[in-house]
Amino acid sequence: MALFRKTKYATLSARPGAHKDIASKCPGCNAIQFKEELEKNLYVCPACDYHFTLTAWQRISITFDENSFEEMDAGLTSLNVLNFPGYEEKLNRARESSGLTEAIITGKGLINGEPALAGIMAPEFMLGSMGAVVGEKIARMLERAGSEGIGAIIFSASGGARMQEGIFALMQMAKTSSALSRLHDRGVVYISVLTNPTTGGVSASFAMLGDINIGEPGALIGFAGPRVIEQTIGQTLPEGFQRSEFLLEHGMLDMVVARKDLKATLSRLLRFHRRGGRE
């Protein structure tokens, strides 16, 4: 006697491409990593220590104490001042896909109980490019840090100035730099965290102006990309060029801190530089 009834077909739940929802290939070592595991490991590959690029909200959730982060100036949005063709569409697409209004989130929160003003760049929004709104949000955040006497941190992740805003974008380099200079005059600490990638006008302004410059391991940090430089100077670049570790060795960074140690490092630095000196 047959144990089972013969059926013509069986239902399988095959879903092509389903693996992309649950796993991603590590760009560092090509090993397949499950998103759940990666999340637990702060989006760092457990096999090769590759630091995946974080979205702004991922960065906020792993850095700030739970429910402590309050966003500010969320209503500022970019306009197409130069009537650059296609810019509005691009902005709309970026807003839709990222759920953000601009390429940076600014606000105030607690890091291991230590208050901080912060700007978190969003690489998922037009590659974290800096336009007038990004510059304005940073300037306002730094102003507030100065008036409240609370340390400021900017997590950079950017392709540079936003070309669709032309000279207005480039102007943000000067604007953010002068805001930092005023913060400096007030004796308030500014920590710059350079993550993968920090390039162009961002690296040439506030990202490199920290009282303390911290790089994430393996982050690409530079002004022009390595290919452009190679073509310009006609030389092969050394290994590890423009990576955090290389920059540390050449005096451009103060430290390279693994993601798992970053929160503790930041809170320690904030406490140390708290106004009124050491505890």
Partner 1 sequence: MTRVLIANRGEIALRVIRACRELGMETIAVYAQGDEDTPHVALADEQYCIGPAPAGLSYLNVQNILTVALEAKADAIHPGYGFLAENPGFAKLCHSLGLVFIGPSPEAIEAMGNKTRARELMEAAGVPVVPGTGPLTDGAEAEAMAAEIGYPIMLKAAAGGGGKGMRLVEEQESLSRALEIARSEGEAAFGDARVYMEKYIQCPRHVEIQVLADNHGNVVHLGERDCSVQRRHQKLLEEAPCPVLTPDLRARMGEAAVRAAKAVNYSGVGTVEFLLDKEGKFYFMEMNTRIQVEHPVTEMITGIDLVKAQLQAAAGEQLAITQEDIEFRGWAIECRINAEDPQRGFRPAPGLIQEWQGPGGPWVRVDGVARSGWQVPPHYDSMIAKIIVWGQDREEAIARMKRALLETRVEGIPTTIPLHLEILASKDFISGNYSTALLGRLLEKGR
Contact flag: residue 233 with partner 1 (CB under 8 A): no
Query: Quick check: 216 and 192 in contact, CB under 8 A?
Result: no
Q: How many residues bind partner 1 (CB under 8 A)?
A: 23
Applying CB under 8 A, does 7 fall inside the site for partner 1? yes
Q: Least distance to partner 1 from the beta carbon of 82, Å? A: 46
- Measured CA to CA, the distance from residue 202 to residue 104 in angstroms comes to 12
The angle subtended at Cα 76 by Cα 75 and Cα 81, nearest 5°, is 145
Contact assessment for residue 129 and residue 94, using Cβ atoms and an 8 Å cutoff: no
For residue 5, state whether it binds partner 1 (rule: CB under 8 A): yes
CA distances from 63 to 57, 134, 140, 245, 262 (A): 10, 21, 21, 22, 8
What angle is formed at CA 100 by the lines to CA 45 and CA 134, rounded to 5 degrees?
95
Judged by CB under 8 A, the residue of 29, 31, 82, 255 near partner 1 is 31
DSSP assignment, residue 103? S
**What would the two tokens of residue 178 be?**
């002068």
Is residue 6 close enough to count as binding partner 1 by CB under 8 A? yes
13 in contact with partner 1 (CB under 8 A)? yes
* Only segment of 11-19, 70-78, 99-107, 259-267 that touches partner 1 (CB under 8 A): 11-19
Q: Does 15 bind partner 1 (CB under 8 A)?
A: yes
Between 35 and 186, whose beta carbon lies closer to partner 1? Answer: 35
Please report, as ranges, the residues that interact with partner 1 according to CB under 8 A.
Answer: 1-7, 10-16, 18-19, 21-23, 31-34
